[in-house]
Amino acid sequence: MSQFSLKDYQSLIEYQKIGNLAVQKAQEENRRLGIPNWYSIDDVIISDMQLQEIAKKQKLSIKS
């Protein structure tokens, strides 16, 4: 059983919020500079640029 107090959990949540905002800012900056962001989706490493290409191809195949 965990020995964390409510205050500990609240601190952890606050730290996670700060981290998430920092990551979001870095991703936006990368996009602005044309640098890909990399993700692991179902154990496959893929960039957001690759995801955009896949989405474009799927849209084209749906219209055809």
27-40 residue pLDDT tens:
999 999 999 999 99
Please name which of 38, 14, 41 lies closest in space to residue 26, comparing C-alpha atoms.
38
- Residue 40 CA to residue 11 CA, distance in Å, equals 27
Together in a domain, 42 and 29: no
- State whether 2 and 23 are in the same domain: yes
pLDDT > 70 in the chain, percent? 95
Q: Which residues span the domain enclosing 6?
A: 1-33
Same-domain status, 27 and 53: no
Check whether residue 25 and residue 41 sit in a common domain. no
Report how many domains make up the chain: 2
Q: Sorting pLDDT into bands at 50, 70 and 90, what band is 61?
A: confident
Q: Are 43 and 55 in contact (CB under 8 A)?
A: no
* Mean pLDDT within 45-51: 92
Domain identity same for 64 and 51: yes
Distance CA 14, CA 60 (A): 42
Whether 3 and 16 share a structural domain? yes
The reply to whether 25 and 4 lie within a common domain is yes
